[in-house]
Amino acid sequence: MSDEQHVLSILVEDRPGVLSRIAGLFSGRGFNIESLCVANAAQEGISRITLVTWADSVIIEQIIKQLHKLINVVKVNDLTEAPAVFREMALIKVSAKPEFRAEILRIVDIFRCKVVDVSAEHYTVEVTGDQGKIAALLDLLKPMGIKEVARTGITALSRENKNGH
């Protein structure tokens, strides 16, 4: 059985220690966390955690069951199986030597991202998209010299059924 990437969307009660319960579950049982993204959900007192992990089918079944077992976890969805939208945001600080500036701005334009901070030597670029888009942008900017990257990790929502059912 081979490992596959799974994006889990977890609704939890917004209580102290919830995140460490989840992190502790993964470390204690030897599951891995590739990325983790946490913020308030639509309902009062509920947070949504989007967690990306790699696992085979037996392990992912255990992970989901174990998450359900935590008292503060309200709901767990594996978005890998359902139609869903996935997005990640990254801030990329790239060195902006005069001879590269035009090129960087051209790339920024093509990728429909934004320069959010400018200094004498750097541009900070904000990009949102799926993982493929961010990887492609990083590839293109690499030759100019990437100083720092901050990524949010994937966040995701399942798609509504188009037929309205």
Residues that bind another protein (CB under 8 A): 12-13, 16-17, 20-21, 24-25, 28, 58, 61-62, 65-66, 68-69, 71-74
Residue with tokens 């709901």: 75
The values of phi and psi at residue 158, to 5°, are -75, 150
| Residue 154 beta carbon to another protein: minimum distance, rounded to whole angstroms | 24
Least distance CB 58 / another protein (angstroms): 7
With respect to another protein, which residue has the nearer C-beta, 58 or 102? Answer: 58
Alpha-carbon gap, residue 100 to 141, rounded angstroms: 10
CB of 71 to another protein, least distance (A): 4
Nearer to another protein, 72 or 95 (CB): 72
| Least distance between another protein and beta carbon 132 (Å) | 33
* Distance (Å, whole) CA 50 – CA 47: 10
Tokens describing residue 139: 């590839």
Task: For helices 18-28 and 57-69, give the axis angle rounded to 10 degrees.
Answer: 150
**CB nearer another protein, residue 36 or residue 108:** 36
Nearer to another protein, 16 or 98 (CB): 16
Give the shortest CB-13-to-another protein separation in angstroms: 6
Q: Whose Cβ is closer to another protein: residue 5's or residue 43's? A: 43
Which of 57, 56, 69 lies closest to 28, judged by CA?
69
**Given the structure tokens 């639509």, which residue do they identify?**
42
In angstroms, rounded to a whole number, what is the distance separating the alpha carbons of residues 66 and 139? Answer: 37
